Each structure stands twice: as structure tokens, then as C-alpha cells.
Structure 1
Amino acid sequence: MKKCIFLFLIVSIIVSCKNESQLETETIKSNPKQAEFSIIIHGGAGSIRRDNMSKEKEAEYRQKLEEAIRVGYDILKAGGTSLDAVQKTINVLEDSPLFNAGKGAVLTYEGINEHDASIMDGKTLNAGASAGTKTVKNPINLARAVMDNSPHVMLSGFGAETFAAEQGLKIVESNYFLTEKKLKSLERVKASEKNKVASFYNEDLQDSKFGTVGCAALDKHGNLAAGTSTGGMTNKRWGRIGDSPIIGAGTYANNNTCAVSSTGWGEFFIRGMVAHDISALMEYKGFSLKEAAKEVIQNKLPNIGDQGATGGIVAIDKNGNMAMEFNTQGMFRATMNDKGELYIGMFTK
């Protein structure tokens, strides 16, 4: 009898070990390490259609997206941090008049520029953000300074600009940000409001609802980071702030799950806490990054509000898997992995 019990225990242990081994193998198989490091960026989502863009303008966007992502890629390849890669990549996009951030930011109702930005460290969950600044050349640098050198997460307006000056950040005259393209865009939006013919998908009004830049990265140390920078919405009033500087809505990073940067109609991204929602689906429901991004952007976001919300995200998980999900007619985007493989996209097809 004792011999039978002993044999039963041995068999049970062997079966148990085998099941654990099988489970471990399945886990590894379902979550393979895709890259030692990788980086992904966006330059805004909206009415971005091939038939409305010249070959010359398309080439210009492609060149700038590649320039930006290679800056971050080089930092990661050299063993730099995901935070530095995100910040420096976004700097390139902020300095370009092509995008709605920094130099190319859209104009408010009063005809001025107001910038928002945020950045988050997936390792510590530390974060920094700024909102409503008018003279800080690179808002993402201010967000990083808030995170690193203050006890706060978000600063706004005059106080944020005072802190930026104290930190030695580059301060410029407000006319530095003014571009003819964005001035004409404001004029069109105001005219369309007056005539009550505004359309969120009209090419002329692309900047009125969409346009932001963002980046997410995984470094060689296994740390994730994400950042977002924007000029907000054309014709915005009363100090309006969108999702870009709000942690969990426009930006989120957590080493346990993923790093996300959002672009789209900010009011709805705030209500849906889009960036964090993607992470939460991964953490609590076991979704893959691709599954979580699709669920939030294609299924949940369009059901927020009467008209449905539009926009997109770029994201990267702790294994280097990347996602570029959007429900608009296009999104400026690019990716690079540890093999140096580059992808640049703009349109749905």
C-alpha cells in the first residue's frame, strides 16, 4: 500500500513538472522577445489621404519622419535610455513646421500658439507635463524637466514658463512659432464656423481637430518610455487643454505592459483615458498589445460621444512588439527595430 502511494506521488510530481514546463513554454511562445530595442513615432492622425498630397509634400514628410526616428534609434543603439530617445526624437518633430507641435503648432482663436506636452518613464512611473505655454521652444524638454527636477507632474501657463526659464530651457519670442500655413488654417476654420459648414474630415480643416507628435521606445535595459507634444486644436479658446499633457490619456508608459502616445480628438481621449486603457487591458485581461490597441481605438473610442471619437496611437510593449492603430483616413508614423529596419507610413493604404 505504501509502495503504491509512493509511486503515485512520484508520478504526480512528474506530471506537475511537465505541466509547469509546458505552461512556461507556451508563455514564452506567446510573448516572444521581438527586439532588444525599438522605437515608434507618430506625427498626427486625421484626413491624410494620398489623393490630397503631392509627391513633393509626401517626400518632405517622409524625410522628416525618417530624420526624427533615426535620432532616437541612434541613441538606443548606443545603449542610451528610452527617455532620451523619446525626448530627442520629439525635438526634431517640434522643430519642423510640418507638424502641429513646437514650430508648426496651430493657432488659437486669438491667433497665438499654446503648447502642451508630456513624458513618462515606464520603469518608475514618474511623469512630467506642461500645458498652455507660449514661449518655450521645445515643450517636451519642459515636460522632462518637470519630471526630473520638480516634485510635480504638471505645470501650466506662466508658472510653467517661469520654471522653464529657471531650468535654462530655450525661450523664444511667440512669433517664432507662427507659420503662414497655420494662419491660413485658422482663417478657414473661422470661416467654416461662420458658414456652419465645418467638417472634421475636410482636408482644409485637418489641423482643426488633429495633429500631434509622439514617440514610444524600448531601450536595451528593458525600460519603456513615451512622450507627446502638441499645439492642440486650431481655433481653441478659453485656455483649452487636450489629452496630450494628461498622463493616462495622451501618454502612458509602464514596464509591465507598454508605452503609448496618442493623437486625435483630445476631449474623447481624456474621457476614455485611452493610453492607460490599452495598458490596463494588457495587465488585467491578458490582451496582447495589438489586441488592446485595436479594442480601444476601433471599438471603444468610436462609441464615446454622440459623433464618435477619432484618432490613433503608437505603442510598444515590453517585448519590443509595436502597434500603430488609428480610425482616421491616415496617420503619419514610423518604426525602427534593433535590426535597423525602417518603416514609414502615412495613409490607410
Structure 2
Amino acid sequence: MVHEHEKDSNFIYFLFFIFQCSKEGVKDSILAEEESLIGASMESLNKSVENFPSDPKVYFHRALRRIEKDDFGNALKDLNQSLSLLPDNQEALSERAELHFILKNYEQALEDYNRLLELDPFQRSYYYKRSMVYFALGDKLESVYDYLLYYDKENFNKNVFPASEKKKKRILLKKKMKEFKNNHEMIAEDFDFPFGGPDAEAYRRTQTYGTYNSIFDGLHLGEDWNGPRKGNEHLGDPVLTIADGLVFYAEDAGSGWCNVVRILHKIKDKEGFTFVDSLYGHLQDMNVNPGDYVKKGQQIGTLGNCRGKWVGHIHWEIREKDLPIGGGYDKKVPKEFVHPTQFVKKHLKKK
């Protein structure tokens, strides 16, 4: 004799069995559809697009077939359509990024690789491919960052997120730099010395611009300044920005530099605008970050001695071109470097 609850139980098992079979059947049919698309001719793919215009897979597979035939323009249209229906499909994004690169649409390729790395930051190959895009765009620094991240396979996982955060900051800074350069109201109309209030009161040069230094066997590319008292008695004195501008570098540069701040200033001239970069080295502390807008006379740091490596002073440079930090000395003074005191006196507003 079969009890009622056993009947119910058997019926439930029966329903579950039917459900499993139907699920497997659906899965098999999907796989069969995928396989048919992979091996399909252009004619059948065109029919699939007509029959299933809202299915991203048919556009994706037709794009692959078109890429095989070097029909890149139409392949790109198919990939765009596929991604409009399924925006975060990594396969389609990856194919489109590579296709953009082939077609020299480097900005679009960069957008796709950025999105791919948002979706999967641990896919090492994306960093390598994005490094090539950056190189093609002429951004060699970002290209090197990505390549080193890709190359250091052993430490890749622990480096990904710190590198990603640094990249976000670099992207934000680039955006601010662009805004700064295009904003004609952000002009440095007055310059002054970076210490001691107006006209560097009581402060003194301890090494002048362009003088030969036997220790470094080179010419000094900036000026060294300290307070009226000798030695390290002025450690911690305020260091001020020489004019309005945008901070684009503020970090420990290592070696003999230690903390360095660099600020971009925009100057109006007869032809429009020119830009100069002021550099402040050996700081004990920094009071600004990259991306900060600063006003003339604002404190950006304090006088230091590079953690005891030098007697306390500030190394101050002015450049007319964005160059690597360098070493503070050279066999000859490059044309991009400017005499700091002469520059400030030339642009100092008459009281």
C-alpha cells in the first residue's frame, strides 16, 4: 500500500527529473547554437542576424568572420552592435580593442582596454596590450607602467590594486592639467621668491645658477637658498610658491632630491600663453598634492636637508619645458632651464 505522502514525494521527484532534463536540453541547444555560429558561413550568419536581431552573439560571430576576411569596417559595426546589446561582454570588448588598434583608433582602443581592466583587473595580457596602445599614443610613461606591471609576473597580484589607484590619480591629474592649460583665467600675473616674504627678505643664495660644482662635475641648473643663519637653523621654514599655478608633482624623488614639488605656471605673452615649471627640492615636508591649485605666496612645504644628506637649503629651478627631474647639474645648462632670480625680477610686479 502506497501512502499519500509517498505519492507526493514521487511526484516531486518526477517534476524535478523533468526540470533537469529540460534544463540540460536548453543548455545543449544553446551550445549547439554557439557551435553552429562558430562554423557558420557568412550567408547563414546574415540570416541569423535577420532572425535574431536582438541577440548579441550573432553580431559577435559575424564580426569574427568579417575580421578573418579583413572586412574591418563592417566587423567594427557588428562589434559595436553586439556591445550595445551586451555592454560588458569581455570577448567582444577585447576583439573591438584589438580592431581599434589595427585601425589606428588608439583613443578608442584605450577606452576599451580601460573598461576591460575595470571588469577584470587581474588579466595580465590586457596590461601588455594597453602598454602598446599608450606607446602608439606617445605616452611612453604610461606604456612603461603597464609593461612593468605585466612583466613582473611574480608580484603581479599584489601590485595590481596599488598600481590601479596610482593610475586613477594620474588620469585625474592629466584632466586637471588639460583644464588648466585651456582655462585662460588661470594666469600667473605676478611672481616672487619662494621664501622670506616679498623679495626673499633676509634669505640668501648659497649656490648660484650656472656655477660649476666640482663635487658633481657639472653646472648648477638652479639656485640654492637658505636663511640668514648658517647650517640647519632654518629647517622647517616655510617654502612658498612663486606664483599662481597647478601642482603636478609632489613626492619623494629619492637619491639626493628627497621631497620635491613642481608647479606649472601659465604666463600671457604677445603670442598667447607660455608655460613655466618651478621646482622646489630637498623639502622637509610637503603641504600640497598633485592636482592642487595654488596662489602666489601659498606655503607648499618647508625647508629641509634631505634627511641629513645636505646642509639645510632649498634647490630651486625654473624650466620652460616639462622635463624629467634630472640631477640638478649638467655638463652644460640646457636651453630649457631659466635663471630663477632673473626670471622672477623680470616678472615681478612693480609695487
Report the TM-score range of the alignment, normalised by the length of the smaller protein: under 0.3
Q: Which has the larger radius of gyration?
A: 2
For CA contacts below 8 A with separation 6 or more, give which structure has more relative contact order.
Answer: 1
| TM-score normalised by L of structure 1 | 0.24
| TM-score normalised by L of structure 2 | 0.24
